């Protein structure tokens, strides 16, 4: 079995309309606004990307706070460059846009679980929503907070 890590405390760190599965799964599933009506076995998290202003940003924040997720079955604005770079480094994008067939989606989840490379060797990056500016900002981790305070 692939090596696993604990996701950030309280994962998923950004609330939303999603189904949480196995946090050790390497797979996240998102749709472009349509609602997932089925239980997708093997996914860590699954749900719709409802809005273009903070929908995909929530997906990114929840994925990068769980280093076990290495596949996204599915363009990002308002996310710091470090978050985007980490998102690209951590994931292999699986494009099933315009696919609503649950059998096809489940088959792709199964395929991704089979080729699980294990958790990314980096620590989780936690982001929060800056409501005033309608964007995500990176929250310093414990080590960074200590360096700032020193």
pLDDT above 70 for 32: no
The DSSP symbol for 6 reads: P
Average pLDDT of the chain is: 87
- d(CA 88, CA 82) in angstroms, rounded, equals 10
In whole angstroms, what is the distance from residue 72 CA to residue 92 CA? 7
What integer pLDDT is reported at residue 33 of this predicted model? 59
- For residue 73, being part of any structural domain is answered with yes
pLDDT of residue 126: 92
Residue 117 has a CB neighbour count (10 Å cut-off) of 11
Question: Within 13 Å and on the Cβ side, how many CA atoms surround 9?
Answer: 3
Q: What does the block give as tokens for 106?
A: 């489940």
DSSP SS3 for 73: strand
Tell me if 99 is assigned to some domain. yes
- Tens digit of each residue's pLDDT (9 = 90 or more) over 57-101: 888 899 999 999 999 986 457 778 888 889 889 999 898 878 889
Query: Taking 80 as the threshold, does the pLDDT of residue 111 lie above it?
Result: yes
Phi, psi of 69 (to 5 degrees): -75, 120
The answer to the question of residue 80 being in a domain is yes
Is residue 13 included in any domain, yes or no? no
Closest CA to 91 of 117, 126, 111, 110: 117
Per-residue tokens: 9? 């405390």
Instruction: Say what percent of the chain tops pLDDT 90.
Output: 47
**Nearest alpha-carbon partner for 94 in 110, 108, 76:** 108
Question: Quick one: what percent of the chain has pLDDT higher than 70?
Answer: 91
Domain with 45, as residue range(s), is: 19-149
Domain tally for the chain?
A: 1
Residue 109 near residue 99, CB atoms below 8 Å: no
Does residue 27 belong to any structural domain of this protein?
A: yes
Q: What is the mean pLDDT of residues 27-45?
A: 81
pLDDT over threshold 80, residue 144: no
């Amino acid at each position: 079995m692939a090596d696993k890590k604990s996701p950030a405390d309280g994962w998923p760190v950004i609330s939303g309309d999603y189904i949480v599965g196995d946090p050790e799964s390497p797979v996240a599933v998102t749709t472009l606004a349509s609602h997932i009506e089925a239980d997708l076995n093997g996914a860590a998290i699954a749900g719709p990307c409802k809005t273009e202003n903070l929908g995909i940003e929530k997906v990114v924040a929840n994925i990068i706070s769980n280093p076990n997720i290495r596949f996204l079955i599915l363009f990002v604005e308002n996310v710091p460059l470090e978050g985007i770079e980490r998102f690209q480094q951590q994931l292999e994008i699986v494009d099933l846009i315009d696919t609503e067939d649950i059998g096809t989606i489940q088959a792709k989840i199964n395929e991704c679980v089979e080729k699980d490379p294990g958790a990314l060797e980096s620590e989780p990056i936690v982001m929060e929503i800056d409501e005033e500016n309608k964007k995500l900002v990176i929250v310093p981790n414990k080590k960074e907070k200590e360096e700032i305070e020193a």
